[in-house]
Structure 1
Amino acid sequence: MKSKLALIGGALLLSTSAYAADLPMEAAPAIVAVPSFSWTGGYVGAQVGYAWGDANFRAAGGSLSAKPKGWMVGGYAGYNIQLDNSPLVLGIETDFNWADIDRTRGAFGASAKTQTDWTGATRARVGFAVDRVLFYAAGGVAYADREVKVRAGRLGAKDNKTAVGWTIGGGVESAVTDNVVVRAEYRYTDLGKDTFRLAGVPVRSKYEHRVMAGVAYKFGW
């Protein structure tokens, strides 16, 4: 009797195994890779900043140094390319700002004022991305309006030029969403030594520092 039960149990076990082998195998669920953030794409933004610099007023009797400073507000636009499977980001950017940067200095009954009403720059950028944070350096051509006013008693004169020089700096950007990017940066700008001759007073505008903050809308991935 025990032998018969053992034979029946073995037969049932074999038939169950054969049936299970004939059942269709369910495919494992596919793993979909979620793409990481990419800095590639164009962008446009708005910014605000503060600048301070140096200007020298020279006349036959000596010289006078002024420290122009003030605020600016404007916009910027550019394009970045992040190299495949690399944290390296390359880009180009241009900006334009309305400015209120000036300083007046006086001596011996005369005064001289240097003033900047607008500034701009076109820069190449290179950055290192850590996911949604980008550390970058940028440099290129800078340009600005420089107006000079000289007054002695009731006599006065003014002149203006477009100063052209170079700028270099760096900053950090953070993508708070896939399309919104905020930034903070510092720039050093050398606008050369343009000379204005007003009432016999040469004026040389030399350099400028600035700090900027901005927010931009980024297009695409």
Structure 2
Amino acid sequence: MKPYLLPISFALVASLAAANPAAAQTFEGPYVGAQAGWNQNKLGTVESDIGTAQVDRSRDAATAGIFAGYNIQPANGIVVSAEGAVNFGFDDGVTRSQKDAMGSINPEYGFDLGVRAGYLVTPNTLVYARGGYENIRASVRVLDLEGPRSGKDNFDGWTIGGGVERAVTDRISGRIEYRYSDLGGSGTKFERHQVLAGVAYHF
């Protein structure tokens, strides 16, 4: 990711937070939004449908996507949300190439389904934690003693994180959050770190 994009993302949410406050009712009901930010894929040994990819590399890149969800307030100050998202990476493939071996994982897109649980520290500011399921569709290339092979595969696992969301009008909010995802299995490594800034419209 370009080094200036992350500060811009933080500046965007900071400017939203400085805007006129809105009603707490913003955090009730359905919403949709868009997000973008920084993504890092960290891969070790990755098992795929076409073979084992020995990658042992990481890569930083940009990511962007859309999300939708539904907020409820089961108690005063408590907000619980169900949320889904689709995200796309940009130039985020990870490759390790040697003389007689090569492993490459190039994520194309992913989706996640999860739950947020948070507390309104002010009537307009929500601090929350999140967790759920994530799935990534990727192109895979492998070169080993069996020869070169390529194909597609799905990698899935769990994700956790947290963030801050600020209502700036009755309908608009801005947020920034961190996510960690584990998409590997036993004896394999496929990790993802993300910092995302988003803007949501509440119905």
TM-aligned CA deviation for residue 36 of structure 1: 4.8
Distance of aligned partners of 1:192 and 1:109 in 2 relative to their CA distance in 1, 3 Å threshold? closer
**Alignment match, 2:68:** 77
Give yes or no for contact 1:93–1:123 (8 Å, CA) kept in 2.
yes
Contact 2:23 2:124 survives alignment (8 Å): no
Structure 2 matches for 1:134-145, cutoff 5 A?
A: 134-145=126-137
What whole-Å deviation, never above 9, does each CA across 1:10-57 have from its counterpart, x for those lacking one?
xxxxxxxxxxxxxxxxxxxxxxxxx95221111000111221122124
Measured in 2, the distance between the counterparts of 1:140 and 1:120 equals 11
Name which structure has the greater RCO, CA cutoff 8 Å, separation 6+: 2
Please tell me the residue identity of whatever aligns with 1:72. T
Percent identity between matched residues is: 34
Q: Secondary structure at the match of 1:93?
A: strand
Report the TM-score, using the length of structure 2 for normalisation.
Answer: 0.76
- Aligned residue for 2:184, secondary structure, equals strand
Greater C-alpha Rg: 1
- Aligned with 2:80 (options 77, 81, 90): 90
Aligned Cα root-mean-square deviation (Å)? 2.3
Length-normalised TM-score, structure 1: 0.70
Deviation, structure 1 residue 116: 0.4
Unaligned runs of 5+ in 1: 1-34, 196-203
Residue-by-residue CA offset, 1:153-205 (whole Å, 9 max, x unaligned) = xx63212211111111000001111111111000010112399xxxxxxxx45
Q: 2-side partners of 1:57 and 1:167: how far apart? A: 20
Runs of 4+ aligned residues of structure 1 deviating over 4 Å after TM superposition are none
- Which amino acid letter does the alignment assign opposite residue 120 of structure 1? F
Aligned match of 1:37: 24
Cross-structure match for 1:125: 116
Is contact 1:146–1:161 with CA below 8 Å preserved after alignment?
yes
Alignment partners' CA distance in 1, 2:143 and 2:62: 25
8 Å Cα contact 1:175-1:182 kept in structure 2 = yes
**Residue matched to 1:208:** 192
Q: 2:180 maps to what in 1?
A: 188
* 3-state SS in 1 of match to 2:24: coil
| Cα pair distance change 1:66/1:36, threshold 3 Å | closer
Counterpart CA distance in 1 for 2:154 and 2:186 is 9
1:175 equivalenced with 2:167 (yes/no): yes
State the secondary structure of the residue aligned to 1:68: strand
Q: 2:89 aligns with which of 79, 99, 103?
A: 99
State the distance in 2 between where 1:148 and 1:114 align: 5
Does the 8 A contact of 1:46 with 1:214 survive in 2? yes
1:117 to 1:64, Cα distance in 2 relative to 1, 3 A: closer
Deviations 1:83-122 (A, max 9, x none): 35x1111111000012232122222354322110101111
